[in-house]
Amino acid sequence: MITIKEATTKKDLKVFVKFPFTLYKDSKYWVPPIIRQELETFDKDKNPIFNDAEARFFLAYRDHKIVGRVAAIVNWLEVNKQQIKKMRFGWFDFIDDLEVSKALLETVERIGREHQLEYAEGPVGFSNLDKVGVMTEGFDSIAPMITWYNHPYYINHYLEHGYKIEKEYSESKFPFENVKPETFKKAQELIKRRYKLKALKFTKTEEVMPYADRMFDLFNESYASLASFVEITDLQKAYFKSKFISFVNPDYIKFVVDENDNLIAFAIVMPKFAEALQKANGRLFPVGFSHILKAKKKSKDVIFYLIGVHPEYQNKGVHAVIFNEYYETFTKKSIQTCYRTPELEDNEAIHKIWKHFDPVVYKRRKTLRKDL
């Protein structure tokens, strides 16, 4: 018999966060989160997303042993402002037992009906800056820190419980040697002259901060057309600045401004922290921080995390300016491999941007939905 318990105390939430450490203890490819940071994500007093969303966390037990978990999420900006009556769920992990996954999903679905929502979709997080999708291909490669890893049996559980594929994502990679500067070098000079643009270079995190709010505003504008988009609020901007910007080498942050210093494009690349996080095993101290700091400074692999261009400048070749900046930076740092975060399969515009680098898809993932 499966018993579902809601995690309401700090002790319960710590159990919630640590369950995957047991489930994936023998995996070479799962990347553990930093436990403290994960707990802060779920802390209603620290994460401003809870001003516009609510979440409940559930643990599944059998014979007093934890066998699964799920977070049931309602983003009220999405529901009320966008009129998308979606019950979100994420952080969904379970042993290979249909009874366990069914009990957890039925808990999510019940909450969705209580809120008069129309369908459940997952796995997703609170917003577009959270992890997304159940992995369906690529189980034999290490997961980036910004995605979920899961066992191959997960997708079958969704399908067995009546969930249908809603969105499909792919993750790709390419060796840096595939990048040929002639594909963008001359073009970016022409584009900068034509539109009076300038690329900004940073060497210190403090130099980035005056532009950070504008970057998130531009993120809202440039991603608004995507089906999964939920805007970032002013309170969330401050939270994400403190949570993410310090993890990024300042010279991996590229901004493009016009003649009036208006931000019209941005890109963020992160060092590949996966192996360092495996060594840290969920803890920054006593040695985890040193592994992460070493990866931040010396990793030869990078992940393209975000790229955004103002709608008025899309399809005008501004990406060439960004790629030229990264080419110069990556050449100096002897970067070897470039990875891309999950991108919607039907986002043709983003696929065209990368086609010159001959990327290879190495992971696929999906979200699934069920009408309530």
- Please state which of the ranges 55-69, 126-140, 183-197, 210-224 shows the lowest mean pLDDT: 210-224
pLDDT in tens, 245-297: 777 888 899 999 999 999 999 999 999 988 988 998 988 888 877 988 888 88
The average confidence (pLDDT) of the chain is: 91
pLDDT band for position 342 (cuts 50, 70, 90): very high
Whole-angstrom distance, CA of residue 330 vs CA of residue 338: 10
pLDDT for res 295: 83
- Domain boundaries of the chain, sorted by first residue: 3-170, 175-363
CATH topology identical between 3-170 and 175-363 = yes
What does the pLDDT read at residue 129? 75
Q: Which residue, 269, 330, 268, is CA-closest to 300? A: 330
Q: Could you tell me which residues come within 8 angstroms of residue 291 by beta carbon, excluding any fewer than 6 positions away?
A: 276, 277, 279, 280
- Residues above pLDDT 90, as percent of the chain: 66
Q: The CATH number of 175-363 is which of 3.30.565.10, 3.20.20.140, 3.40.630.30, 3.30.70.360?
A: 3.40.630.30
Strand partners, 368: 122, 165
Question: Could you tell me the pLDDT band of residue 228, with boundaries at 50, 70 and 90?
Answer: low
Phi first, then psi: give them for residue 186, nearest 5 degrees.
-70, -40
Given a cut of 80, whether residue 302 has pLDDT beyond it is: yes
Element (H, E) at 280: helix 274-280
Model confidence at 237, pLDDT cuts 50, 70, 90, reads confident
> CATH homologous superfamily of domain 3-170?
Gcn5-related N-acetyltransferase (GNAT) (3.40.630.30)
